[in-house]
Amino acid sequence: MTDAGPLIGPDGLARCPWGLSTEDYVAYHDEEWGRPVHGDDALFERLCLEAFQSGLSWITILRRREGFRRAFADFGIAAVAAFGDADRERLLLDAGIIRNRAKIDATLANAKLLADWEPGELDALIWSYAPDPATRPAPRTLADVPAVTDESTALSKALKKRGVRFVGPTTAYALMQACGLVDDHLEDCAARGGGAAPGH
């Protein structure tokens, strides 16, 4: 599968192979993945979900995303920063999320840390590591899509230096892909460059 190029879906559009692997992925692939995401709370949500995804498949997280949003107050940084011991215990018992103690603790700690940052500071820091699109040729197959880059390694180091937890270079790169810092849709994918599937 790693050397697979785009696949043609039932609607006749070419998509990245993973975007057709389950029904849940189609809308996510067409409408969200690779589109620019800005705003501290929105980026905090993606940072948290990518951390929870570590060691799991993204579909596991995507199918629980609404559960995560309910559990973590829609990932408002100030709201999560105010969570106390009772909230932590509630999260550890919440079947709507991934009940991983280390990841829950990292999410709570990161919220408390980020609540002290200036508005827009997280957004500016993350986006400062977006590479120049001209330096990145469009991937033709999945084999051309990296798991880690120099930029994601640098972003991971910068976040860790500021005290952010659970954000290694691979997690940082997944964040960059999901939030549009890079466009890793395959060259002939209909969603590349912000294109959307008709009807979505």
- The residues assigned a catalytic role are 28, 50, 58
Residues 6+ apart with CB under 8 A from 94: 67, 71
Using CA atoms of 17, 44, 131, 187 in order, give the dihedral in degrees to the nearest 10.
20
Query: Going by C-beta distance under 8 Å and a sequence separation of 6 or more, which residues neighbour residue 67?
Result: 94, 96, 97
Which residues have a Cβ under 8 Å from the Cβ of 200 and sit 6 or more positions away?
26, 27, 30, 31
Name every residue whose Cβ is closer than 8 Å to that of residue 63 and which is 6 or more positions away in sequence.
24
**Alpha-carbon distance 110 to 107, whole Å?**
5
What are 14's strand-pairing partners? 8
